[in-house]
Amino acid sequence: MAVKATRKRQWFTAFPKDYRWSFITSINLMRVQGGAADTSEIFEICRRLEGKEGNDRAWVREWVRMGDRVRAMAQAAQRKGNAYTAADCYNRACNYYQAADRFMFPKNKKSKALYRRSIDCFHRYLRLTDSPRAEVVEIPFEGNNKLPAYFIHAQNTKKARPPVVVQYTGFDGTKEGGFALATLALVRRGMSVVLADTPGVGEAIRFRGIYLRHDYEVAGTAILDWLEKRKDVNARRAAIFASSLGGYYAPRTAAMERRFKAAVAWGAQWDYHAIWKRRIEAAYKIQLPSPGSHLAWSLNTKTAEEALVKLEGFRLDGVAQKMKCPFLLVHGDDDQQIPLSDAKKLFNAVGSKDKTMRVYSGPDGGAQHCHMDYLQPVVSYLADWTAEKLGA
Domain boundary among the residues 104, 129, 154 is at 129
User: 101, 129, 157: which is the final residue of a domain?
Assistant: 129
Q: Write the CB contacts of 358 (distance below 8 Å, at least 6 apart in sequence).
A: 328, 329, 330, 331, 381
For residues 312 and 290, what is the distance between their CA atoms, to the nearest angstrom?
Answer: 21
**Alpha-carbon dihedral sign for residues 56, 59, 63, 66:** positive
Note the pLDDT of residue 131.
82
Looking at residue 288, its pLDDT comes to 77
Q: Which amino acid is at 13?
A: T
> What's the pLDDT score for residue 284?
79
Residue 361: per-residue pLDDT = 92
Consecutive H or E run containing 135:
strand 134-141
Q: 331 and 388: one domain? A: yes
Do residues 88 and 72 both lie within one domain? yes
- Bridge-partner residues for 165, per DSSP? 193, 239
Between CA 186 and CA 193 the distance in angstroms is: 7
Amino acid present at 264:
V
Residue 153: what pLDDT? 97
Residue 246, in any domain of the structure: yes
Q: By residue range, what is the domain housing residue 66? A: 1-129
Does residue 203 share a domain with residue 116?
no
Q: Which amino acid is at 162?
A: P
Give Cα 148 distance to the centre of its chain: 15
For residues 97 and 118, give the distance between their C-alpha atoms in angstroms, rounded to a whole number. Answer: 6
One domain for residues 123 and 149: no
Out of 102, 129, 156, pick the residue that ends a domain.
Answer: 129
CATH number of the domain where residue 56 is located: 1.20.1440.110
Strand (E) or helix (H) holding 52: none
Q: Please tell me whether residues 93 and 134 are part of one structural domain.
A: no
User: 334 and 227, same structural domain?
Assistant: yes
Measure the CA–CA gap between 248 and 7, rounded to whole angstroms. 27
Measured CA distances, 303 to 201, 262, 307, 309, 389 (Å): 19, 37, 6, 10, 43
Q: How many alpha carbons fall within 13 Å on the CB side of residue 243?
A: 25
Residue 283 lies in a domain: no
| pLDDT (0 to 100) of residue 2 | 44
Q: Are residues 215 and 343 in the same domain?
A: yes
222 and 362 assigned to the same domain: yes
Please tell me whether residues 212 and 264 are part of one structural domain: yes
Give the number of domains in the chain.
2
Predicted confidence pLDDT, tens digits, the chain (392 residues): 443 444 455 567 899 989 999 999 999 999 999 999 999 999 999 999 999 999 999 999 999 999 999 999 999 999 999 999 999 999 999 999 999 999 999 899 999 999 999 999 999 999 999 889 999 999 999 999 999 999 999 999 999 999 999 999 999 999 999 998 999 999 999 999 999 999 999 999 999 999 999 999 999 999 999 999 999 999 999 999 999 999 999 999 999 999 999 999 999 999 999 999 999 888 777 787 778 889 999 999 999 999 999 999 999 999 999 999 999 999 999 999 999 999 999 999 999 999 999 999 988 999 999 999 999 999 999 999 999 999 98
Co-location of 160 and 243 in the same domain? yes
- Quote the CA–CA distance of 365 and 42 in Å, as a whole number: 22
Among 162, 141, 147, 122, smallest CA distance to 35 is for 122
| CATH classification at residue 244 | 3.40.50.1820
Question: Can you count the helices (H) and strands (E) in the chain?
Answer: 15, 10
227 and 81 belong to one structural domain = no
Pairing between β-strand 192-196 and β-strand 164-168 as defined by DSSP bridges: parallel
Residues 144 and 238 in one domain: yes
